[in-house]
Amino acid sequence: MAKDYDRDDVNREIERTRASSDPRCAGLKDLGDYEVAQGYPDPRGWTVRTADGRSVGKVRDLIVDTGTMRTRYLAVRLDDDIAGDRGHRDDRDVLVPIGTAQLDDDDDTVVVNELSADRFATLPAYDVRSLTRDDEHQLRTHFTTGDAMSAGTIGAGATAGGDFYDHRHFDDRKFFSRGRDRARAGTGEEERLTVSEEQLSVGKRQVAAGEVGVRKNVETRHVEQEVPLMREEVSVERRPISADAANTGDIRINEGEIRVPVMREEAVVEKRLVPTEEIIIRKTAVRDTKTVEADLRRERVDVDERGRDVR
């Protein structure tokens, strides 16, 4: 957020101070006449606190993406008890992505909710003369895990610029909005009232509606069936022989016996398994229409003009 400036002078200053692989970031103090625009807060010199209220240092400078002239980082000078044994004084400067910080509504303080005081001490040291894109990749791993902070859209009205900065961690609009809103309120130019309403959002989910079970049971039934059977019967016929016929043969008196087998059929019962039918179970999706009802609230604006209720 800045006023107009001489871009040629700025570019010459950047080329003088940045490394060959630098992604064209520069400190605000190194950009000559470039400064925070009127009506926006200038957090330089403000105390930086963590979410638990612990002070970790002060904002030393704003680091600007010179391609889009948007603030991307806060350069923070760590307090002695946080910096520990970092060594040189320049090693006590670290970077905080602008989108991870916010201004305190009641005090000129910068709050960083995503890092504890102990984790501030682990941030890599910052030197504007050697800042590279690799350094920025390493830095942002301290504020998120994995690839969650890789290039992505911020949302409606995303910040302009390269893909690397198209993420909420580099969006400076929310950070500077407090000063802009306060400036508008002080001049009396405008007051804003947000009007909201509830809207119905209907989704669908699958729930169990029951189940169909097909079970086989074994039952025993008694059957009767008539079977035609054949049997042999014996009849004995006694026939007299004439005297003439008796004289022609060898006739003797002795004992004798004749046996004739008599046959009959009997039923033989045998059981065997045979398939008689098959059961097929199918599911068919049937669409029904159901009316969903809900009571929704919405805000209505009534303007009271000179004692009259005007809508």
Q: pLDDT tens for residues 251-261?
A: 778 888 888 89
Q: Closest by alpha carbon to 31, among 46, 18, 40?
A: 18
Q: On the CB side of 40, how many CA atoms lie within 13 Å of its CA?
A: 15
CA distance 96 to 122: 12
Task: Evaluate if residue 311 carries a pLDDT over 70.
Answer: no
Round the average pLDDT of the chain to a whole number and report it.
77
Give the CATH number for residue 181: 3.90.50.10
Q: Whole-prediction pTM value?
A: 0.49
Lowest mean pLDDT among 77-86, 138-147, 265-274: 138-147
Looking at residues 72-92, what average pLDDT do you find?
Answer: 78
Number of structural domains (the chain) is 1
Query: In Å, how far are 67, 112, 115, 146, 173 from 100, measured between CA atoms?
Result: 21, 6, 9, 17, 12
Q: Closest by alpha carbon to 141, among 104, 163, 115?
A: 115
Domain assignment present for residue 256? The answer is no
Looking at residues 264-277, what average pLDDT do you find?
Answer: 89
Q: What pLDDT, on the 0 to 100 scale, is given for residue 48?
A: 93
Q: What pLDDT, on the 0 to 100 scale, is given for residue 163?
A: 67
Domain assignment present for residue 105? The answer is yes
CA distance 265 to 262: 11
pLDDT, tens only, 165-179: 888 888 888 887 764
> Domain range spanning residue 77?
7-187
Residues 6+ apart with CB under 8 A from 285: none
Domain assignment present for residue 282? The answer is no
